[in-house]
Chains A and B, each alone.
Chain A
Amino acid sequence: MPEEKEGVAEELMKSGVEEEIAELIKEEFMQAELTVDFEELSDMQIEEAYVEDILVMLGREEEGEVKLGDIELKVNKSEMPEKIKDELKKKLKVVRRKLSSENLDEILGKIAEKYEKAQVEPREAVGIVAAQSIGEPGTQMTMRTFHYAGVGAIYITQGLPRIIEIVDARKNLSTPTMRIKLMEECALERNKAEELAVKIKETHIGDIGKIEASTEDMSLWLSLNERELEKRHIKKEDLEEKVKGIGTDVLVEGVEDGKLRIHGNNKFRLTEFEKKVSNLLVKGIEGIKRVLVRRDPDGEYVLYTVGSELKKLKNQKIEGVDFGRTTTNNIAEIADVLGIEAARNAIIDEMMSTLEEQGLDVDARHITLIADAMTMDGEVKQIGRHGIAGEKSSVLSRAAFEVTVDNLLEAAIHGETDGLRGVTENVIVGQPIRLGTGAIDLVARK
């Protein structure tokens, strides 16, 4: 149900801070005794307000009201996120005629104040909050899903197993898949999309013909399936070239009734040679086992693959593929091909869509924190003992997490010391933790 998914995403983006800020802005306007019902304000009206602004700029400026430039300038100067600034500008511009310069300052001041209040306090345990915020909805996630999510007939790991795959930074996924977007000229026509699908799917000789080994003259007889050849746009000559490429002394000759006779060299035994010829790639990308053409809700044809080979896809530069919008669910691959920042984005996207798929609403900032922690050192690290938790500087903290004895023994051998600076260590020894109010020390004045 892609439409439903989109709805959830939209809701998610709208909810939270943005709504709060919208509420705030409205409140502030009300206090300034301005009555504007933003809900009833249509985009049209907002646009009309802009048109009026242009007239003003042409020299019909009136005295005593806030100028357009002032709004731009003052809002840009305030230290707030881009999104809030944009919204503020849009809304302020509509009502600027009713505002005085003092009103504007007051509104901006109050919003800045509230924004500051809404931020996380110093020494807040954001990691714990993130862990709980994902952990709790996680309990509602299906342990095992066998439903075919998204694409018909391709099974993609979903739910809890998928989340575990992501935070464990697995390199070998159980269901690697790519979503290949196409350039406009191919994205709108099914025929062209299908053609590309054929170009990308791996085709071995075994798929397009039957090989018979003849022990009589120690050669292989390949009878090709003409229909398959045509379907996959493979020319016989190209195929012969490919076969010859196996080794220097491989001979190919065409025999009557369309069969090809292949002489191997003596290095291979016949069965080995047969296997080798059968597994020879004639078309496509090795590792892409299936390609499905599917029409997305926005009318675009998109290719979904079984198997993920982003690097090969990039290097092959197949015409019609829009590489810039092509993604894979294999985060290690993204880190390798597109860099660590892309991997960070991929972690966020994958986790959010997995949670959304299950109807769970987790704030993007928790996920962002996890992605940041995982990509902090320039490579994708798992959360667990071989990654973030295993690289903590504190012995006690590591020992408390997993494999207690090993960690303590290792630390004892190396004579490590524990500075008792983290949370876990201090809980173990029974001291106040250095978080929140515990982070503050009292200093006596002499």
Chain B
Amino acid sequence: MKKGKFSILEHELVPEHMVIEESEIKELLDKYKIKKGQLPKIKLSDSVIKEIKAEVGDVVKITRRSRTAGKSLSYRLVIE
């Protein structure tokens, strides 16, 4: 992955996205007692998803900078 000055992953508005393992997905779903489809979504055509090459059905972990908490974790399911 080339990270030029004009890479969107380096943009200050873009938080870190990371595809997580199957085991971590299970842990997450168990923790909140939800199904995969109930997670917030992110599109396959999303610029960041294209950049990190995630696939439909993957869950991405997003490490956001939060105004109130300092750091917060969020998850999105990749959809078509």
Contact = CB atoms under 8 A, between A and B. Distances in A.
B6 interface: yes
Given A341-B15, A378-B76, A323 B48 contact: no
B14 A338 contact: yes
B13 A364 contact: no
Interface in A362-383: 364-365, 368, 372, 375-379
A84 B5 CA distance: 33
A399 interface: no
A16 B15 contact: no
> How many of chain B's residues touch chain A, expressed as a range?
20 to 34
A416 to B, nearest CB: 21
Helix, strand, loop or mixed for chain B's interface?
mixed
Contacts of A338: 8, 11, 13-14, 47-48
A13 interface: yes
Contacts of B76: 340-341, 378
Nearest to A376: B40
B18 interface: no
Contact of B46 (A81, A322, A339, A349): A339
A379 B43 contact: yes
A368 B69 CA distance: 12
A345 interface: yes
Contacts of A325: 11-12
Contacts of B68: 16-17, 81, 83, 364-365, 368
A340 B41 CA distance: 9
Given A324-B5, A341-B17, A82 B70 contact: yes
Contacts of A365: 68
A271 to B, nearest CB: 40
A339 B14 contact: yes
Helix, strand, loop or mixed for chain A's interface?
helix
A166 B41 CA distance: 21
Contacts, number: 100
Contact of A13 (B10, B17, B41, B67): B67
A342 B42 CA distance: 12
B6 A323 contact: yes
A117 interface: no
B3 to A, nearest CB: 10
A253 interface: no
Interface in A308-352: 314, 317, 322-325, 327, 334, 336-342, 345-346, 348-349
Contacts of A85: 70
Contacts of A337: 8, 47
Given A81-B70, A379-B43, A341 B48 contact: yes
B35 interface: no
Interface string B50-80: 0000000000001010111111100010010
Nearest to B40: A376
B5 A81 contact: no
B17 A324 contact: no
A341 B11 contact: no
B71 A81 contact: yes
A212 interface: no
A341 B17 CA distance: 9
Given A81-B70, A82-B70, A334-B13, 15 more contacts: A83-B70, A84-B69, A84-B70, A325-B11, A337-B47, A338-B11, A338-B13, A339-B42, A341-B64, A345-B14, A346-B13, A364-B67, A376-B41, A377-B41, A378-B42
28 contacts: A81-B66, A81-B68, A82-B71, A83-B70, A84-B70, A85-B70, A323-B5, A323-B11, A324-B10, A324-B11, A324-B12, A336-B47, A337-B47, A339-B8, A339-B47, A340-B46, A341-B64, A342-B14, A345-B14, A345-B64, A348-B67, A364-B67, A368-B67, A372-B40, A375-B40, A376-B40, A378-B43, A378-B76
